[in-house]
Amino acid sequence: MSADRPANISTVTDATFDEEAGKPGLALVDFYADWCGPCKVLEPMLDRILAQHPEVRMLRLNVDENPLSTAQFQILSIPTVIFFRDGKQLGEPILGAQKPAVYDALIREYSSGADAQQPEIPAEA
């Protein structure tokens, strides 16, 4: 992790996933691979978004190195982002690199305590 990355971003593995995702609060999990072009586009965008939301943790999981978590969440395409609160998955996985407004809207909605369904995504997203 580079020195200019927000402190609320960390890498997880199959061995640490459940413990880290189960911590209190809102977590965004970024399922990625080092060779994935869209993943490389998404990473700095998520870094910027998370810098504005220090209350949200981002956990990054390399799908090539962590097959158990990848299979558990049926990750078939990357990048995939899944939100968790207190270890419980919120909404549906977000597939592909989306515009920043998509992730920002989800963070705002899930931070307000919503978890039953996917929130409305802004039309301009």
Catalytic residues, by residue number, are: 36, 39
Cβ 62 vs Cβ 33: under 8 Å: yes
Classify residue 68 by burial, with Cβ atoms within 10 Å: 0-12, 13-18, 19+. exposed
Quick check: helix, strand or coil at residue 24? Answer: coil
